[in-house]
Amino acid sequence: MAPPLVLLQDIHLRFGVQPLLDGAELSVSAGERLCFVGRNGSGKSTLLKVAAGLIEPDSGTRFVQPGTTVRYLPQEPDFSGYATTLAYVEAGMGPGDQEYRAQYLLDQLGLTGREDPSNLSGGEARRAALARVIAPEPDVLMLDEPTNHLDLPAIEWLEAELKSLRSALVIISHDRRFLENLSRATLWIDRGTTRRLEQGFTAFEGWRDQVLEQEETERHKLDRKIVAELDWLRYGVTARRKRNVRRLGELHSMRKDRREERRVQGNVAITVTEAQTSGKLVIEAKRIAKAYDDVPVVNEFSTRILRGDRIGIVGPNGAGKTTLLKMLTGELQPDSGSVRLGTNLEVASLDQKRAALRPETTLRDALTGGGSDTVLVGGQPKHVMGYLKDFLFTPEQANSPLSVLSGGERGRLMLARALALPANVLVLDEPTNDLDLETLDLLQEMVADFPGTVILVSHDRDFLDRTVTSVIAAEGNGVFNEYAGGYADMVNQRGRGVEAKARLDDGKAESRSSAKATAAAPKEAKRRLSFHEKHALQTLPKTLDKLRAENAKLEERLADPNLYARDPAAFEKASTAHAKVLADIDAAEEEWLRLEILREELGG
């Protein structure tokens, strides 16, 4: 086996009374693909910072092979002192690194390099930080929640880029699909210690369950031995005093072990307060549209959502997902078209930005509204301490301000607030943000068992595949289409995944192909449009109209819920034709855009 590039041995670290790391170990060799898993608060990020040399443990040793380059992606990067994103990325490169990679990666991640770091959104900050740590192609790349704030196209691009690197990867992420696609070994951080599985995340959950079952068996054996020793003490203590003292000492030792044993942290007790049953029709939208500054965000979208449906909305950042969600739920009025809401609707919402949480508010007041020890769950009072315990908060945290909560704890609190309300419609905007894998499991079960209707926006492919019955996907230019099944089903029908939203460069759209052609042949910049190009500009709009009409017919045919059961061959034929038509529409739109840009550059 190759010698480790980074090695941690017997790491101990204590925050307050409770030890966070209690003899943790880590070994990273060249080219390894290792993921960290564990509950929120188990010490994953702390151990990664120890490995990166950012935190000094109370005891234990850290060894880094001389000459090894290590790069660490924090959850909250520091941009202070940098005028542009390009300067920030270039500052992370060392002598001998290929300088062009800084601008190349920024381009790939949808940034120009000229952005002011102080004005970046969460997603833009994450992209710039990723470019900084990936550009040098280090020996060891440590990533703490790299998919946070990224949309689906960026996540899938990042997967492909990381697969192509020769760097050893150490990854913390709540995105199951991301871990399954990248990891080849798993480090489980549990109750301060580490266990390693020489398989990727796909095998982790079955292995973890076996370990916990074995622990439960051993605990049961210890309980039985304690009972047997107590019985012996009661009835056999009169003879052989020396042996009695020894056995009594052994009993005390076993009891001490039992008391001090660090149990597995409990699971979140997620339940949804059910409201009265809604009508069969929940939402009916007819040709709804919304535009801002004459730019279409939603363009003539129609759908019918019935009681019990679980709808996922996907698309790149800025594609209009949240706008569509707000129009469907009546929070935002469309510019044209109509939305009809069903009867007896009671909606509970989860805001992706956690906007309803004030930093100075305590956990107790966030749930009760202040001045009370009870929270109404389904119209019934429940003591706030009991409800906090259901979501893995301790009594000591009840009076703590929200500003000290981790991202995962804030996510659990927002779930607690939303799910306490009686509801027959759940509206979840990025509900998986910052949740650990176990809480995600329970949230998935809750969504699957919820008797009402669920509408959710998510970039988590695995969560979508496990929960939704249909997916509404952003196609570009405000167009949304609905596909039966989860995310993987959508990809199969559509022929591709979610694609990145086209960027504007200096306020003017420019295709990469035309830019390369111009750079390669500058003398052709003043040429005229050819006859074929002029003819294509005139005919492509009509071609697009025909393709869109054909697409509408195919979608209407595929919308028949009985088509597959009645005629599987016809369903398969229609699905294949639908995917081809969508590809033809994309190709025609790209060709028209290329020619229109060329026409403008040549002065008409």
Residue 487 pLDDT exceeds 80? yes
* Mean pLDDT, residues 229-256: 55
Quote the longest CA-to-CA distance of the chain: 112
Segment 201-224, tens digit of pLDDT: 999 988 988 888 887 887 777 777
Q: Which range has the worst mean pLDDT, 89-98, 131-140, 172-181, 498-507?
A: 498-507
- Residue 441: its pLDDT value, please? 77
pLDDT higher for 157 or 368?
A: 157
pLDDT, tens digit, for every residue of 294-350? 888 999 999 999 888 889 999 888 888 989 999 998 889 999 999 999 888 888 777
Q: Fill in the amino acid letter for 351.
A: D
Average pLDDT over residues 482-503: 80
Res 21 pLDDT > 80: yes
Question: Phi, psi (5° rounding) for residue 425?
Answer: -135, 120
Rounded distance, CA 467 to CA 311, Å?
Answer: 9
Please report which residue ranges of 237-307 form alpha helices under DSSP H.
Answer: 241-260
DSSP character at residue 518: H
Q: Give me the pLDDT at residue 83, please.
A: 93
Contact yes or no for 150/175 (Cβ under 8 A)? no
For the chain, helix (H) and strand (E) counts, in that order, are 19, 20
The tokens describing 120, both together, are 């970046």
- Short-list 375, 379, 378, CA closest to 388: 375
Q: Give the residue numbers of the binding site for ATP.
A: 38-45, 315-322
pLDDT-derived band at 507 (thresholds 50, 70, 90) equals: very low
Q: In a 3-state reduction of DSSP, which class is residue 552?
A: helix
Tell me the sheet residues that pair with 298: 290
pLDDT band at 573 (very low <50, low <70, confident <90, very high): confident
Q: Decide: 278 and 345 in contact? Cβ < 8 Å.
A: yes
Looking at the predicted structure, is the pLDDT value of residue 56 above 90? yes
Which tops the pLDDT comparison, 381 or 52?
52
CA distance 268 to 387: 10
Nearest to 416 by CA among 434, 393, 447: 393
Domains of the chain with bracketed CATH: 6-206 (3.40.50.300), 281-494 (3.40.50.300), 512-601 (1.10.287.380)
- Candidates 343, 340, 346, 327; CA nearest to 280 is 343
Decide if pLDDT at 508 tops 70: no
pLDDT of residue 591: 78
pLDDT over threshold 50, residue 522: no
Q: What is the pLDDT of residue 378?
A: 58
Q: Quick check: 258 pLDDT over 70?
A: no
List beta partners, residue 338.
286
| pLDDT for residue 241 | 46
The bridge status of strand 281-292 relative to strand 336-341 is antiparallel
> Rounded mean pLDDT of the chain?
80
Distances, alpha carbon 535 to alpha carbons 123, 272, 538, in Å: 41, 59, 5
Binding-site residue numbers are 38-45, 315-322
What's the whole-number mean pLDDT along residues 425-454? 79
Residue 251's pLDDT is 55
Nearest partner of 129 among 109, 156, 104, 159, judged by Cα = 109
Burial of 419: CB neighbours in 10 Å, binned 0-12, 13-18, 19+:
buried
Q: How far is CA 402 from CA 6, 369, 430, 470, in A?
A: 36, 14, 20, 36
Q: What's the residue count for the chain? A: 604
Question: Which residue blocks in 29-151 are alpha helix, DSSP H?
Answer: 44-52, 85-90, 100-108, 122-134
Q: Judge if pTM exceeds 0.85.
A: no
Determine the pLDDT at residue 186: 95
Q: What is the predicted pLDDT for the residue at 452? A: 85
| More confident: 61 or 434 | 61
Q: How far apart are CA 127 and CA 133, in angstroms?
A: 10
Backbone angles phi, psi at 491, to 5 degrees: -60, -40
At 194, the pLDDT band (50, 70, 90 cuts) reads very high
- In terms of average pLDDT, the best of 55-59, 217-221, 233-237, 346-350 is 55-59
DSSP string, 348-409: EEE-TT-TT--TTSBHHHHHH-SS-SEEEETTEEEEHHHHHHHTT--GGGTTSBGGG--HHH
pLDDT at 76 over 80: yes
**Residue 247: band (very low, low, confident or very high) from pLDDT cuts 50, 70, 90:** low
Cβ partners under 8 Å of residue 128, min gap 6: 77, 79, 85, 88, 89, 106, 109, 111, 115, 117, 120
pLDDT more than 70, % of the chain: 82
* C-alpha–C-alpha distance, residues 462 and 469, integer Å: 13
Is residue 376 pLDDT above 60, yes or no? yes
Q: What would the two tokens of residue 133 be?
A: 């740590």
Higher pLDDT, 362 or 8: 8
Residue burial 61-72, b: 16+ Cβ < 10 Å; e: rest: ebebbeebebbb
Task: Decide if pLDDT at 185 tops 90.
Answer: yes
The string of DSSP letters for 5-55 reads: SEEEEEEEEESSSSEEEEEEEEEE-TT-EEEEE--TTSSHHHHHHHHHTSS
Task: Pick the more confident residue, 284 or 212.
Answer: 284
Does residue 355 carry a pLDDT above 60? no
User: Higher-confidence residue: 276 or 596?
Assistant: 596
pLDDT in tens, 139-175: 999 999 999 888 888 999 999 999 999 999 999 998 9
Position 17 confidence tier, pLDDT thresholds 50, 70, 90: low
C-beta of residue 213 within 8 angstroms of C-beta of residue 231: no
State the pLDDT confidence band at 515, using cuts at 50, 70 and 90.
very low
Instruction: Using pLDDT thresholds of 50, 70 and 90, give the confidence band for residue 578.
Output: confident
∠ at Cα 523 (599, 520), nearest 5°? Answer: 90
Q: Do 424 and 378 contact (CB within 8 A), yes or no?
A: no
* Alpha carbon distance 587, 415 (integer Å): 42
The percent helix, strand, coil of the chain (3-state, each to 5) is 45, 20, 35
- 238/569: higher pLDDT: 569
Q: If 0-12 CB within 10 Å is exposed, 13-18 middle and 19+ buried, where does residue 261 land?
A: exposed
Residue 546: the pLDDT is 87
